[in-house]
Amino acid sequence: MQSINRSSRNLSMGVVDALSHRIRIGPLRAGDKLPTEAEIMNEFGVSRTVVREALSRLQAAGMVQSRRGVGTFVVGASSAKPFQVESSPDDSLVQALALIELRIGLESEAAALAAQRRDSADLEAIAAALNAFRTAMAQGMDTAVPDFQLHLEISRAAHSPHFAAVLEALGPTCVPTAFLEAAGGEEPSIASIDRVLLEHRSIVDAIAQQDVDAARAAMRTHLVNGRERRRASELPRQPRPR
């Protein structure tokens, strides 16, 4: 029996991950028939409900197709071009702003769903990511990775796999490392640091309280503010008064 982490926020996603890996990498190929529900239940040690949810997710992703009375067959990994962000050295600001615009729509709804669907494991993962972000800021370290991890944990708490998949495709580079720099390239002020921490805290609190509207609004406010901070970081440096 293959082991799946029982503390996983969603057992069906463990099955989805394992089966989709076999479809993308092998041994499963287009046209192959998946094991029966009973066989999948036995292999992963999960219920029939979990298996059916996993198969439904795979079918929604276009990776398998169910044939009534026959079984479920592999369609194959998506033939569409994998989602990626192409960039050049000349469009860093333009691309950064475009990515934030994408994230505003994506993550605002992910936060709302997280508030509706989160469980105790989600809250623990989100709290740990927030603490790591807070520590990085306090120590003057690069915040891109812990910031990205916090947003990723929130998207995972939505229990809808495509939110996290898009963020994972973007990676930590979608979080601007200079977003706290004040206009003119100065070091971030204590007030600006506190403001960002408060924004994150507002999102996390709304999710913990299962306040869907507040979570959506808090995430949108945070990302819109982040867009303006990113713009400000590119303003020409002003000479200091003598």
Q: What is the reported pLDDT for 178?
A: 43
Residue with token string 């990302």: 223
Q: What is the reported pLDDT for 115?
A: 98
Residues 6+ apart with CB under 8 A from 114: 122, 154, 155, 157, 158, 207, 215
Residue with token string 């969603």: 10
The rounded distance, in Å, linking the Cα atoms of 97 and 185 is 18
The pLDDT profile of the chain, 242 residues, written as one tens digit per residue, is 454 444 333 677 788 888 888 887 778 888 899 999 999 999 999 988 888 888 887 887 778 888 888 889 998 655 444 555 554 444 567 877 888 899 999 999 999 999 999 999 999 999 999 999 998 888 877 777 889 889 999 999 999 888 988 888 787 777 765 444 444 445 556 677 788 899 999 999 999 999 999 999 999 999 999 888 888 777 655 554 55
Q: What is the reported pLDDT for 84?
A: 57
Q: Are 69 and 144 in contact (CB under 8 A)?
A: no
What predicted TM-score, i.e. pTM, was given to this entire model? 0.62
Q: What is the reported pLDDT for 108?
A: 97
